[in-house]
Amino acid sequence: MKINIRNIQLADNPFLSKIIKDTLAEFGANRPGTVYYDPTTDALFELFQTHGAAYFVAELNGEIVGGGGIYPTDGLPDDTCELVKMYLLPQARGTGLGRTLIEKSLGFAKEAGYQQAYLETMPELKQALNIYAKFGFEYLKEPMGNSGHTGCSLWMLKNL
């Protein structure tokens, strides 16, 4: 099993969009107010050219199987970033790739000077909730920032 984590490239857009949308559909979370309907999901390379942002692509045996990253979401405090668009295909789950993507993303966040990482998610993504908790993310009572993802009903924060 050959695992590779790299920075996003323009040619990755259609593959990553499909992975994100297929994963949300798989878990019944493909509803309005989520990244499923966010037009930036189809243009991740362009979105992550923002200062203070990074997106990492996971490859398994040369095939794109997911990704995740850090974004300075509007409305968050200057020292807080958001862990975003963290999705993996079924064949990549349970391989440690998710953990590796989160570690890489949080490492970038620390190097970029962020003090906290925030995330928004949904109860349907149970496996991810357990992983986030293992990384030290704690639940919040309300959302932070202005992501526009009103379909997310769970919010978590971690000190870096």
**pLDDT tens for each residue of 80-97:** 999 999 999 999 998 889
Contact 99, 131 (CB under 8 A): yes
Residue 127: pLDDT band with limits 50, 70, 90:
confident
The helix (run of H) or strand (run of E) holding residue 78 is none
**What percentage of the chain carries pLDDT values higher than 70?**
100
Could you tell me the residue range of the domain that residue 66 belongs to?
A: 3-159
Does the pTM surpass 0.85? The reply is: yes
Q: What is the pLDDT of residue 158?
A: 98
How many separate domains does the chain show?
A: 1
Residue 41 belongs to domain with CATH number:
3.40.630.30
Residue owning tokens 């570690």 = 103
Type of residue found at 139: Y
Helices (H), 48-145: 97-111, 126-134
